Amino acid sequence: MVDEGTASASEILTGALQDWDRATIIGRRTFGKGLVQEPLQLSDGSELRLTVARYYTPIGRSIQKPYNKGHDAYNEEVMQRFHSGEVLHGDTSKNHPGPQFKTKGGRTVYGGGGITPDIFVGFDTSSLSKKVTDLYVSGTVNNFIYSYYIEHISNLRKFKTASDFVAGYHDEEKLWNSLAIFAAKDSFDIHTISAKDKEVLQNRLKALLARLIWRMEGYLEVINNYDPVIKRAFQEINQD
């Protein structure tokens, strides 16, 4: 699973797995950084990072995206993917700057600027409303989730693992109604938010409860159940 934030060593591994047909790559085109740099300390205390080599995948693809349009264009290249629609629609095969290659299994892959996934999952453009964002920024959500956890700690501790919690916790509406009462004390009326915002917030609340029990590992295990790239990966696995 990759996206435009996947860079350097992680995309080197991704490229090797794809070249040898050992994995199905899901997500969006990776960042495109495949350089070997040697740091050199200078006398004024600064440091020069000198590029001494480039990484290539087993079939000869260059991971590094080009510098031929200048330094500013290089730094802004990922943002340009948003402007061109690539991260939304997956038109990488048409817009990709590099040449085509064939894997050992005959699949078409691309070089010259990151690793193109086999299965595209677009960037989620939906965003939380200002009201929900304010709910987070004000500290209301964090304060609520801690008080709810303390009040229901005996029931929550009955779940031995985060997996058990994902499968066995079904009090989402009770949790939501409790948040509504708590938020009203801070002058937030969450009954007026959209259904999409409610769904995202309910998923986040469940993950935040898991974090209080199993720390960050628990949070990720719960929230990953709602990640679109991970959900697509499971779909592909279940089809095999």
pLDDT tens-digit series, residues 94-115: 556 578 899 989 998 988 789 9
Average pLDDT, the chain: 89
- Sketch the domain layout of the chain as residue ranges: 9-123, 130-231
In tens, the pLDDT along 116-138 reads 999 988 887 666 788 888 888 88
| pLDDT attached to residue 149 | 95
Place of tokens 């719960």: 222
How far is the C-alpha of 90 from the C-alpha of 94, rounded, in Å?
9
Q: Which of 109, 96, 81 is nearest to 16 (CA)?
A: 109
The more confident residue out of 112 and 28 is 28
Question: If DSSP codes are grouped into helix, strand and coil, which group holds residue 120?
Answer: strand
pTM of the model: 0.69
How far is the C-alpha of 1 from the C-alpha of 234, rounded, in Å?
11
How far is the C-alpha of 50 from the C-alpha of 61, rounded, in Å?
22
In tens, the pLDDT along 161-204 reads 999 999 999 999 999 999 999 999 999 999 999 998 999 899 99
| pLDDT attached to residue 19 | 96
